[in-house]
Amino acid sequence: MARTAEAVIIGAGIMGCSVAYYLAARGMTNVVVLERDAIARGATADAAGGIRLQFSTETNIRLSQVSLEVWEHFPELFGVDIGFRQQGYLFLLTTEDEVRTFRANAEVQRRHGVPVRWVDRDEIRELNPAVRVDDVLGGTFCPRDGWADTYAATAGLARAARGLGVEIREETPATGFVIDAGRMRGVRAGDELIETPLAVICAGPQTREVGQLAGVDLPVLPYRRMSFITEPFDAIPPTVPMTIEFHSGLYFHPESHGFLFGMANPDEPPGFNKTVDDEWMARTVEALCERAPAFEQARIMRGWAGFYEVTPDDNPLLGPIDGVEGLLVAAGFSGHGFMQGPAVGMCIAELITEGRATTVDISAFTPSRFRDGRLAQEHNVI
């Protein structure tokens, strides 16, 4: 006999686990999460764990604000320490264009109650004495921003979802959908069929491939991003904020007793290559030492590659997919999905159980916007 479920979620990264938890918290507990690998092993595992309120669009600011309330209270809510280090995000700006854009962004953020402030060179040096500021025109700093352990957070949500009755099956890929007269009827996992009227694709960088199983085209492309971590190193205080040289996308923040850092390669084509590119590592280290010369004394302990899940406007696809009733997506976060996990889970659960997301108006991120040419460009992407 086929298993039946009220909903099947594909993917157990931060999004799948959050959607599952918030659905169950709203009373929809007969939910199955299919994960081809293990909980939090996809993009979520490779993330820098950054959590910030500093975005350029209202929807992203709101998603981050709602999520931040959860991150700040995670231990009380879920009984798990996610190592949230609220040391702020410091953006360094080196061109007049960036200054204009960030001043405008800061206005929008402040209108929404984000405690972001403009910082000059002197304050930048106070916040992070390691950085070279001679070419810096200014920056922004928000003390409520920070970073956390992505695995602990996702595992915490998964455990809470299981506690409410959700079934999370690891090493179980979704292999197909049963769609009849434009309606979702079931999800296949190998030989097994799970009958369901609702499926939610939370497949991170693999979203396009999973969408193809349902005959829909979801514009999410995987882009390799490399991260590196230094050996324990105390030449820079462990209290400095997440520091980002916006022009190059170079970032670093304290991690364990060392530092985690990375930089986007603008020439990287999309693809699923997960090897570490030594040449790019060398360029990243060079840029890091130029910005913060104390890193010349640091040694790299390890490096890894993961995938940003990028859409044409750097914002996610959230909600029902046209053409298949009962098929939804929450994917394509373009490098800022971990931090928005809680709010997205709440919104998708509201959409499913109430017909409308009320916590945050996510209509700007409707998946059909690309077909209609209504892009919602996010400008503050790292």
Ligand X SMILES: Cc1cc2nc3c(=O)[nH]c(=O)nc-3n(C[C@H](O)[C@H](O)[C@H](O)COP(=O)(O)OP(=O)(O)OC[C@H]3O[C@@H](n4cnc5c(N)ncnc54)[C@H](O)[C@@H]3O)c2cc1C
In sequence order, the β-bridge partners of residue 117 are 141
Burial category of 265 from C-beta neighbours within 10 Å (exposed 0-12, middle 13-18, buried 19 and up): middle
The yes or no reply on residue 222 touching ligand X (CB under 6 A) is no
Q: Which stretch binds ligand X (CB under 6 A): 4-12, 21-29, 77-85, 138-146?
A: 4-12
Q: For residue 11, is it left (φ>0), alpha (ψ between -120 and 50) or beta?
A: left
The yes or no reply on residue 138 touching ligand X (CB under 6 A) is no
Query: Residues 307, 369, 378, 381: which binds ligand X (CB under 6 A)?
Result: 307
Give me the amino acid identity at 74: F
Site for ligand X in 337-366 (CB under 6 A): 337-339
* Choice between 105 and 206, CB closer to ligand X: 206
Burial 27-60 (b: 16+ CB within 10 A, else e): ebbebbbbbbeebbbbbbbbbbbbbbbbbbbbbb
The yes or no reply on residue 236 touching ligand X (CB under 6 A) is no
Q: Work out how close the CB of 223 gets to ligand X at its nearest, in angstroms, rounded to a whole number.
A: 8
* Choice between 35 and 313, CB closer to ligand X: 35
The yes or no reply on residue 211 touching ligand X (CB under 6 A) is no
The yes or no reply on residue 333 touching ligand X (CB under 6 A) is yes
Q: Work out how close the CB of 85 gets to ligand X at its nearest, in angstroms, rounded to a whole number.
A: 12
Question: In degrees rounded to 5, what are phi and psi of residue 140?
Answer: -125, 150
Q: Work out how close the CB of 180 gets to ligand X at its nearest, in angstroms, rounded to a whole number.
A: 21
Site string for ligand X, 25-64 (x = CB under 6 A): ---------xxxx---xxxx-xxxxx--------------
Q: Work out how close the CB of 121 gets to ligand X at its nearest, in angstroms, rounded to a whole number.
A: 26
Q: Work out how close the CB of 15 gets to ligand X at its nearest, in angstroms, rounded to a whole number.
A: 3
Site for ligand X in 246-275 (CB under 6 A): 262
Task: Indicate the pairing of strand 250-255 with strand 258-262.
Answer: antiparallel
The number of angstroms, rounded, from the C-alpha of 99 to the middle of its chain's C-alpha atoms is 25
Site for ligand X in 98-137 (CB under 6 A): none
* Choice between 55 and 333, CB closer to ligand X: 333
> CA 178, CA 182: separation in Å to the nearest integer?
10
What's the number of CA atoms in the CB half-sphere (13 Å) around residue 22?
A: 24
Cβ neighbours of 376 (radius 10 Å): 18
The yes or no reply on residue 206 touching ligand X (CB under 6 A) is yes
* Choice between 227 and 284, CB closer to ligand X: 227
224 neighbors 307 (Cβ within 8 angstroms): yes
Q: Work out how close the CB of 220 gets to ligand X at its nearest, in angstroms, rounded to a whole number.
A: 9
In sequence order, the β-bridge partners of residue 136 are none
Q: Work out how close the CB of 100 gets to ligand X at its nearest, in angstroms, rounded to a whole number.
A: 25
**SS3 for 302?**
strand
| H-only helix segments in 73-117 | 74-78, 96-111
Q: Which stretch binds ligand X (CB under 6 A): 13-21, 75-83, 93-101, 266-274?
A: 13-21
Handedness of CA 173, 340, 161, 25 (dihedral sign): negative
What's the number of CA atoms in the CB half-sphere (13 Å) around residue 43?
A: 30
91 neighbors 140 (Cβ within 8 angstroms): yes
Q: Work out how close the CB of 185 gets to ligand X at its nearest, in angstroms, rounded to a whole number.
A: 18
> CA 90, CA 157: separation in Å to the nearest integer?
29
DSSP-derived secondary structure letter, 202: -
Q: Work out how close the CB of 184 gets to ligand X at its nearest, in angstroms, rounded to a whole number.
A: 16
* Choice between 10 and 198, CB closer to ligand X: 10
The yes or no reply on residue 174 touching ligand X (CB under 6 A) is yes
Residues that bind ligand X (CB under 6 A): 10-16, 34-37, 41-44, 46-50, 173-174, 202-206, 210, 225, 227, 262, 306-309, 331, 333, 335-339
